[in-house]
Amino acid sequence: MVAAMSASAPSPLARPRVVSGVQPSGVLHLGNFFGAIQQHLALQESFPGEALYFIADYHALTTVHEAAALREHTREVAIAYLALGLDPAKALLFRQSDVPEVLELAWMLSCVSGMGLLERGHSYKDKVAQGLRPSVGLFYYPVLMAADILLYSASVVPVGRDQLQHIEFAQDMATHFNQAFAGGAAALTRPEPRLSQAPIVPGLDGRKMSKSYGNTIPIWESGKKLRKLTGQIVTDSTPLGEPLPSEKCNVYALLQLCCEAVELEQVKAWYQTGRREGQPFGYGHAKVLLAERLERLFAPARARREALLADPGAVEAVLMRSAEQARVIARATIRRCREVCGLP
């Protein structure tokens, strides 16, 4: 669908677009998959318009200061999306930095954004509280993110709850820009957030699964290592054979995400009775079951990942082709914005 677009395409506002980005800042985990990636992949099928996903490598420079690591993480994210089911015929997948026009729009937006707006940013305050150096880039992060969204005239931006304020900033910046430069006309389109349906995915210690807490289960973990990880999930001390409280159980919360409905009913019954087929069923069994289900869920994608790892040229080709198509949209927006600003 996006392939049909050309430099002479009609107004970029003509088609609805879903746009989202993911930072290449570390190994992808189950929180990333169930909280973000799964929804992105579903939207490539169900969204009545174009889907654009990018790897936010400019954003990652706020925290990743090692070239080899940034390249490696970026490649990992690209391969993960493709292995997990992104279809380049249905959605674009590109590196943010392959469309440098985004930096120009970010500058224009920064000139209509009050300091007060950015000073309210939760994400900046949280990251500084976690010990990150308060760089100008970290503070400016939401402006670049607004530019990511407005550059492609996104109508819908699927994100986790933690990103909601950034979408509100993008809405405000679009309005300020249109009022300041375009006499209120819609030079930039106001985006709407779409919150992921997935609950917060718990990590090994029961807190939100996150790189920053070191409590993650990586998507690609398998075999003994995976069983070791699921074995570390914190549970209460209900003795083996007693009924288990599924609603408070971190293992069950993860089983809910990776079991089919019918199977989940069975598992629920095992929890309620503390027995499976006449034998005692305890947390240890639930953890082994979880490892098996995760292994099964990601097996096809793991095989595709292996193939993609062996074919870096194919991955690069998808990224470059997508970036070219994204740039067509980006250039049209920049042309419009330059004109209303009075830039040549």
- Residue 64, binding choice from ligand TRP, ligand ADP, none, Cβ under 5 to 8 Å by partner class: none
- Least Cβ distance, residue 156 to ligand TRP (angstroms): 10
Rounded to an integer, what distance in angstroms lies between the CA atom of residue 334 and that of residue 344?
Answer: 11
Residue 198 DSSP code:
S
Specify whether 211 is catalytic: yes
Contacting ligand ADP within 123-162 (CB under 6 A): 159-160, 162
Centroid of chain to Cα 2: 21
Nearer to ligand TRP, 39 or 325 (CB): 39
Report how far apart, in Å, the C-alpha atoms of 1 and of each of 6, 85, 94 are: 11, 17, 16
248 is catalytic: no
In the range 173-192, which residues lie near ligand ADP by CB under 6 A? none
Q: Which is nearer to ligand TRP, 20 or 325 (CB)?
A: 20
The rounded distance, in Å, linking the Cα atoms of 3 and 94 is 14
Tell whether residue 35 is a contact of ligand ADP (CB under 6 A). Answer: yes
Q: Are 332 and 99 in contact (CB under 8 A)?
A: no
Tokens found for residue 248: 């408070």
Candidates 18, 19, 36, 154; binder of ligand ADP (CB under 6 A) is 36
Binding partner selected for residue 31 from ligand TRP, ligand ADP, none, CB under the kind-specific 5 to 8 Å limit: ligand ADP
- Kindly state the tokens that stand for 101: 């026009």
Question: Which window, 103-111, 139-147, 204-212, 292-300, contacts ligand ADP (CB under 6 A)?
Answer: 204-212
- Choosing from 90, 125, 211, 268, which is the catalytic residue? 211
Considering the candidates 90, 208, 224, 248, report the single residue annotated as catalytic: 208
Instruction: Give start and end residues of each alpha helix (H) in the chain.
Output: 30-32, 38-46, 57-60, 67-84, 101-110, 115-119, 122-129, 136-151, 164-181, 223-231, 250-258, 261-273, 283-309, 312-341
Length of the chain: 344
| Chain residues 211-270 in contact with ligand ADP, contact rule CB under 6 A | 211-212
Catalytic residue numbers, as ranges: 127, 208, 211
Residues that bind ligand ADP (CB under 6 A): 22-23, 25, 31-32, 35-36, 159-160, 162-163, 196, 198, 200-201, 208-212
